[in-house]
Amino acid sequence: MFEKEKLEELKKNQTDWNDNKVGKSLERFPERKKQFATGSNQEVDRLYSPVHLEDFDYDQDLGFPGEYPFTRGVQPTMYRGRFWTMRQYAGFATAEESNKRYKYLLEQGQTGLSVAFDLPTQIGYDSDHALAEGEVGKVGVAIDSLKDMEILFDGIPLDKVSTSMTINAPASVLLAMYIAVAEKQGVSSQELRGTIQNDILKEYIARGTYIFPTEPSMRLITDIFEYCSEHVPGWNTISISGYHIREAGSTAVQEVAFTLADGIAYVEAAIKAGLDVDKFAPRLSFFFNAHNDLLEEVAKFRAARRLWAKIMKERFGAESPKSMQLKFHTQTGGSTLTAQQPDNNIVRVAIQTLAAVLGGTQSLHTNSKDEALALPTEESVRIALRTQQIVAHESGVAETVDPLAGSYYIESLTNKIEQEAMEYIKKIDDLGGAASAIDKGFIQKEIMDSAYEYQKQIESGNRIVVGMNKFQVKEETPKGLLRVDPAVGEMQKEKINQLKGERDNKLVQEKLTILKEAAEGKENLMPHILEAVKVYATLGEVCGVLREVFGEYQQNVIL
Amino acid sequence: MDRPIRVLVGKPGLDGHDRGAKVIARALRDAGMEVIYTGLRLTPDQIVQAAIQEDVDVVALSILSGAHNHLLPKVVELLKVENIYDETLVICGGVIPEEDIPFLKEKGVAEVFTPGTPTGVTIDFIKQNLKRA
């Protein structure tokens, strides 16, 4: 990119500038700190110039948008064609309550749905299970059977909206219910668009809603890949998630490295199960975090895109460009929100929104200002959505593709993040891959070390979080937080009792027995799960059968 | 005060967010305490049994799922049943609305630490409020 001679001259000039100009300036105006670093502790130089990009090659490193290695984006025109999907993660209490919130969000101009399930649902327990007590409807909507799912999507045309579901261990069951609801609306599974998270490895690493041990979990995942490639071709079968890894305290580099390492494990599992890489890989999607260090985050997204393209092409021999495209959803960083002076969070979220958009995200959830305190109210969700709309319509950043490309700093940081992530992936390969690195506690410990380091920086005052460890004010207790009615648990129990009185229990037992036999063998489980949920077998019953056959994951407690 | 303070750090309920629990566990350890971290998804009964077995002075629980009003009083109740509440300090942290704190204190939780609390505050609280003789 840069002529050798020119570069040499520039290097010399830069050294001169550093010794003379900078030296003199420092005598009079010392810098604020001895060392400068990104939000993830990457050292930051005073100035970036072509000297940092000696081997930079436009074609090889960037290419054009929509072309390998996709550094500049997965589509040729990006947001000039269509903005990212504005998708607010929502769900609480009962299906009825959540259905109302979805309709509200769609009326406000949201373009896709994103379903939050409560913890019992995510861990495969019905609301009447002893371990569900106190948890029903708290962090998401409670779904016990197809009945609840019918209410959740009542009046929402499933051929028109795309739906993302944050569901992992029991992903097959919720996807089956979604297919069944669509069928009742007269919508064929061929027309459905959406995503299931379905990423069990990061549950073991960071999020905690696992059920089954690794091997049967990987089987359930590859069963979904196979089933959807034929029956639900518009469905993103997995959302390989760095979001929760980052929330657990990882650095930006670790977020990229561990997420892509998980991705490698899924691709390997699917290939081992006999699937053709170019058949399932185009439906893999990713999910990243957006934190406050704007430029580092932009570089992170670009590095992840380039690295994944290389992995798919070089490591797995993918031929279809679609298999090499890293498409991703972004959520702004929940852990960056402060409980102190919650209005400040609106500004943080705006910066993070810019990071996601300048990084080329396909869809975005913006957090609400009150989420360090409780689930968001309708008003605060609207501000969060408006933040995206302002960036889309007023900021101008969506008018051209990858506008920060070519910045010496951005390109250097992109290179550095890619390089360091590759080193981590190599280490994980040496440990036997992601699943084995998790078993050994390696990934968890790396994240924890970063999280603890971050905490120490805050407490020592080396890192400032406005309103939390500096610029504090005396505050009133925040008012008007959203509260989930504790009666939700009882209401759900009542619904289950009623359902069990109405459905054909003999038929349910039959379908569950067939599912059990299939689980003991090797067949694809999706069709059997679909059959069971259609006759109103509950989520807990389906997962119960699978628990019997597969057993449960035992967490490796790492401190 | 011969032996170091022993603390059980636990996550009751189904909530999987363990960053806070792990950070506090490490900070307490660095402050010279002996820390037993139990991992995820413990029932109140399992927590109390672990507290007995490990002979701890403090039970520190982290909850971000909103199930605190249900789970925390249960732990206290069971500690009382086992006759060890009088020598065990119970504290908790997590996303807990201010308005729930009086209820939790009334139920026997000594202190509630909300997001943004420096670990030093928790450490000092433990040192000053130990119940053991």
pLDDT for B118: 94
CA distances from A11 to A14, A229, A405, A412, A426 (A): 5, 53, 22, 16, 33
Asked if B30 and B89 count as a contact pair (C-beta separation under 8 A), the reply is: no
Beta bridge partners of A113: A163
Residues in A closer than 8 angstroms to B15, CB to CB, are 119, 135, 139, 208
Instruction: Considering only residues A288 and B1, tell me which one the structure prediction assigns the higher pLDDT.
Output: A288
Q: What total number of domains does chain A contain?
A: 2
Q: Is residue A42 part of a domain?
A: yes
Q: Is B123 in CB contact (< 8 Å) with chain A?
A: no
Q: Out of B15, B22, B119, whose CB is closest to A451?
A: B22
Clarify whether residues A259 and A377 are in a common domain.
Answer: yes
Digit-coded pLDDT (tens) for A331-385: 999 999 999 999 999 999 999 999 999 999 999 999 999 998 888 888 999 999 9
Q: Is residue A322 part of a domain?
A: yes
- Domain spans in chain B, listed from the N-terminal domain onward: 6-129
Digit-coded pLDDT (tens) for B50-88: 999 999 999 999 999 889 999 999 999 999 999 999 999
Q: Is the pLDDT of residue B1 over 60?
A: no
Residues in A closer than 8 angstroms to B99, CB to CB, are 477, 481
Residue at A240: amino acid letter: I
Which phi and psi angles does A73 have, rounded to 5°? Answer: 135, 160
Q: Is residue A466 part of a domain?
A: no
Q: Is the pLDDT of residue B2 over 80?
A: no
Clarify whether residues A268 and A136 are in a common domain.
Answer: yes
Q: Of the candidates A429, A460, A491, which is a domain's last residue? A: A460
Dihedral, A509, A512, A517, A519 alpha carbons, nearest 10: -160
Digit-coded pLDDT (tens) for A137-189: 999 999 999 999 999 999 999 999 999 999 999 999 999 999 999 999 999 99
* Contact between chains at A339 and B114 (C-beta distance less than 8 A): yes
Q: Is residue A478 part of a domain?
A: no
Q: Which residues contact residue B65 at a Cβ distance below 8 angstroms, ignoring those fewer than 6 apart?
A: A119, A135, A138, A139, B13, B14, B15, B17
Q: Match domain B6-129 to its CATH number in 3.30.420.10, 3.40.50.280, 3.40.50.12280, 2.30.40.10.
A: 3.40.50.280
Q: Which residues contact residue B3 at a Cβ distance below 8 angstroms, ignoring those fewer than 6 apart?
A: none
Mean predicted lDDT score pLDDT of chain A: 96
> Which of A287, A283, A363, A361 lies closest to A323 in space, CA to CA?
A283
Asked if A498 and A146 count as a contact pair (C-beta separation under 8 A), the reply is: no
Least confident of A89-93, A261-265, A338-342, A497-501: A89-93
Digit-coded pLDDT (tens) for A14-37: 999 999 999 999 999 999 999 999
Q: Is B107 in CB contact (< 8 Å) with chain A?
A: no
Q: How far is A460 from chain B (nearest CA, A)?
A: 10
Q: Is residue A253 part of a domain?
A: yes
Q: Is residue A541 part of a domain?
A: no
Which domain CATH number covers A160? Answer: 3.20.20.240
CA distances from A498 to A237, A485, A495, A503, B43 (A): 33, 21, 5, 9, 28
Q: Of the candidates A460, A485, A502, which is a domain's last residue? A: A460
Q: Is the pLDDT of residue A91 over 90?
A: no
Structural domain containing residue A117? 63-460
Q: Is residue A469 part of a domain?
A: no
Digit-coded pLDDT (tens) for A40-54: 999 999 999 999 999
User: To which H or E segment does residue B7 belong?
Assistant: strand B6-10
Clarify whether residues A367 and A436 are in a common domain.
Answer: yes
Q: Out of B38, B65, B119, whose CB is closest to A455?
A: B119
pLDDT for A27: 94
Q: Of the candidates A33, A53, A73, which is a domain's last residue? A: A53
A477 pLDDT band, cuts 50/70/90, is confident
* Residue in B closest to A455 by C-alpha: B23
Digit-coded pLDDT (tens) for A504-517: 999 999 999 999 99
Q: Is B33 in CB contact (< 8 Å) with chain A?
A: no
| Rg for chain A, CA atoms, rounded | 24
Which two three-digit tokens encode residue B46? 């399992």
Mutate to test the interface with A, among B9, B14, B23 (most CBs of A within 10 A): B14
pLDDT for A475: 87
Q: Is B17 in CB contact (< 8 Å) with chain A?
A: yes
Alpha-carbon gap, residue A361 to A498, rounded angstroms: 44
Q: Is residue A437 part of a domain?
A: yes
Q: Out of A123, A206, A477, whose CB is closest to B98?
A: A477
Clarify whether residues A209 and A358 are in a common domain.
Answer: yes
Alpha-carbon gap, residue A253 to A419, rounded angstroms: 9
Q: Is the pLDDT of residue A521 over 80?
A: yes
B133 pLDDT band, cuts 50/70/90, is low
pLDDT for A472: 94
Q: Is the pLDDT of residue A426 over 70?
A: yes
* Residue in A closest to B99 by C-alpha: A477
